[in-house]
């Protein structure tokens, strides 16, 4: 081969390699867990339906344009309504997502999930997955068989968010109804409306319209790589119960939780994490016996600070800050793996 010919062959090779790598799409693994997004009605005229019926391939086939955004691989972890989510499934999901994100050929993970407990699963993953690759959770409010099902568009937009160059390092996000939320901030606030997810304290993480993704402020609390919590070798989580406060609340459920082996109790307090004298006495006794007690609020927004109307220092209670009761339970379970001291747990609630 002449020198000139060798040069031409080399140059062509270089152009080819550049073209191929420029065309290489991000690789997204979709892990399916069920929910309404995979739900089916007996017939489309009926409101009734069953969550977690269709499998992952059905969901992928319903949003074919995703393939323009990414190379997609799907897998089915479980197929349940998220009202049936358990600690065991969280650990199984956490281990699998961790494994996937460690693979060099996976750039992001999208998780399909029911909306009922999506905020809890998302927060659990944001505390326990040590990766800066994007993790996006997605669901739908209407079953896959309904008129105007919202699942396919939500899934497409979840993949758009997961493949956005700006998604890295933002921790676990939730995408639904053209909005992006941080898992730590988001709450399901409406039983059936498409516009059910809100981040009442800090606002949404951004918005998405088709493939156009815009992020607002970065997440404000510790997550991902920076988190102290690891689930590598875990196969169970400590038992933590939630008791709901109301006028005339007694202490029966608190006493029952302690007797039944709870290591922690979260109270969904009225207002600023308050409860009746009877319930306070029950919780104080629980705290004295070594059960961790966290005061959260049933109001749906705002923060519970220490020592406002309740003397947390004296009663050995932890204040939940901005975490609602169900998210407080998640953090308390993980915190209890490390310590049950009020100081240590309060530090976690202040930082995470
Ligand atoms: N119950 C359903 C679930 O959480 C609701 C939904 O997905 O929207 O699985």
DSSP for 91-105, written as a single string: HHHHHHHHHHHHSTT
Compute the distance from residue 88 Cα to the ligand 1 centre, in Å: 18
Ligand 1 atom with the shortest distance to the CA of 116:
4
Compute the distance from residue 331 Cα to the ligand 1 centre, in Å: 23
pLDDT at 212: 98
In 3D space, the residue among 76, 85, 53, 65 whose CA is nearest the CA of residue 155 turns out to be 65
pLDDT at 11: 54
d(CA 239, CA 164): 38
pLDDT at 321: 98
Q: Which two tokens stand for residue 61?
A: 């086939």
Q: Which residue has the tokens 């009926």?
A: 46
Strands 27-34 and 108-112: parallel
Which residue minimizes the CA distance to atom 3 of ligand 1? 114
The answer, yes or no, to whether residue 16 has pLDDT greater than 80, is no
The answer, yes or no, to whether residue 122 has pLDDT greater than 70, is yes
Compute the distance from residue 49 Cα to the ligand 1 centre, in Å: 10
d(CA 134, CA 27): 11
The answer, yes or no, to whether residue 4 has pLDDT greater than 70, is no
User: How much of the chain, in percent, has pLDDT values that exceed 70?
Assistant: 93
pLDDT at 44: 80
- On average, the pLDDT of the chain sits at 95
The SS3 of residue 182 is strand
Higher-pLDDT residue of 46 and 308 is 308
If one residue of 32, 33, 36, 119 were mutated to test the ligand 1 pocket, choosing by the most ligand atoms within 8 A of its CB, it would be 36
Compute the distance from residue 187 Cα to the ligand 1 centre, in Å: 14
Question: How many other C-beta atoms lie within 10 A of the C-beta of residue 98?
Answer: 18
In 3D space, the residue among 184, 205, 187 whose CA is nearest the CA of residue 195 turns out to be 187
d(CA 49, CA 41): 4
pLDDT at 326: 98
Cross-strand bridge partners of residue 348: none
In 3D space, the residue among 326, 330, 327, 331 whose CA is nearest the CA of residue 344 turns out to be 331
Q: What is the mean pLDDT of residues 276-290?
A: 98
Alpha carbon separation from 251 to 174, 261, 282, 287, 330 (Å, rounded): 36, 16, 5, 14, 23
If one residue of 34, 35, 188 were mutated to test the ligand 1 pocket, choosing by the most ligand atoms within 8 A of its CB, it would be 35
Ligand 1 atom with the shortest distance to the CA of 81:
9
Compute the distance from residue 257 Cα to the ligand 1 centre, in Å: 27
Residues with catalytic roles: 36
pLDDT at 279: 99
Ligand 1 atom with the shortest distance to the CA of 139:
7
Pocket of ligand 1 (CB under 6 A): 35-36, 51, 81-83, 114-116, 139, 141
d(CA 171, CA 200): 18
pTM of the entire structure? 0.93
Q: What would the pLDDT profile of 153-206 be if each residue is shown by its tens digit?
A: 999 999 999 999 999 999 999 999 999 999 999 999 999 999 999 999 999 999
Q: What is the mean pLDDT of residues 288-316?
A: 98
Ligand 1 atom with the shortest distance to the CA of 117:
4
Ligand 1 atom with the shortest distance to the CA of 52:
9
pLDDT classification of 2: cutoffs 50, 70, 90: low
Which residue minimizes the CA distance to atom 7 of ligand 1? 114
If one residue of 48, 83, 115 were mutated to test the ligand 1 pocket, choosing by the most ligand atoms within 8 A of its CB, it would be 115
Secondary structure (DSSP) of 284-313: HHHHHTT-EEEEEESSSSS-B-TTSSS-HH
Q: Which two tokens stand for residue 30?
A: 């979709």
The answer, yes or no, to whether residue 31 has pLDDT greater than 70, is yes
Q: What would the pLDDT profile of 234-257 be if each residue is shown by its tens digit?
A: 999 999 999 999 999 999 999 999
Compute the distance from residue 154 Cα to the ligand 1 centre, in Å: 14
pLDDT at 153: 98
């Amino acid at each position: 081969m002449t020198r000139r010919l060798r040069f031409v062959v080399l140059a062509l090779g270089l152009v080819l390699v550049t073209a191929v790598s420029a065309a290489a799409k991000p690789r997204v693994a979709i892990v399916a867990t069920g929910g309404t997004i995979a739900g089916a009605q007996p017939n489309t005229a009926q409101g009734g339906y069953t969550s977690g019926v269709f499998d992952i391939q059905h969901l992928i086939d319903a949003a074919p344009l995703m393939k323009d955004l990414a190379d997609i691989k799907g897998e089915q972890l479980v197929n349940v309504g998220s009202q049936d989510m358990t600690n065991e499934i969280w650990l199984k999901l956490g281990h699998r997502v961790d494994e996937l994100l460690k693979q060099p050929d996976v750039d992001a993970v999208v998780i399909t999930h029911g909306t009922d407990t999506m905020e809890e699963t998302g927060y659990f993953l944001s505390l326990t997955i040590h990766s800066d690759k994007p993790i996006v959770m997605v669901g739908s409010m209407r079953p896959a068989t309904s008129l105007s099902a919202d699942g396919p568009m939500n899934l497409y937009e979840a993949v758009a968010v997961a493949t956005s160059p700006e998604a890295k390092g933002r921790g676990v996000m939730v995408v639904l109804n053209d909005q992006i939320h941080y898992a730590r901030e988001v709450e399901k606030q409406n039983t059936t409306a498409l516009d059910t997810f809100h981040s009442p304290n800090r606002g949404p993480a951004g918005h998405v319209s088709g493939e156009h993704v815009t992020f607002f402020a970065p997440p404000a609390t510790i997550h991902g790589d920076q988190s102290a919590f690891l689930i590598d070798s875990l196969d169970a989580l400590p038992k933590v119960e939630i008791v709901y406060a109301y006028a005339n609340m007694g202490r029966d459920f608190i006493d029952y939780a302690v007797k039944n082996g709870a290591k922690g109790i979260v109270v969904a307090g009225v207002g600023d994490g308050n409860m009746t004298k009877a319930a306070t006495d029950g919780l104080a006794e629980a705290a004295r016996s070594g059960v961790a007690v966290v005061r959260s609020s049933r109001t749906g927004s705002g923060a519970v600070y220490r020592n406002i109307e309740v003397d947390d220092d004296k009663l050995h209670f932890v204040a939940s800050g901005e975490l609602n009761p169900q998210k407080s339970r998640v953090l308390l379970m993980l915190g209890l793996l490390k310590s049950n001291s009020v100081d240590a747990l309060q530090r976690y609630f202040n930082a995470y």
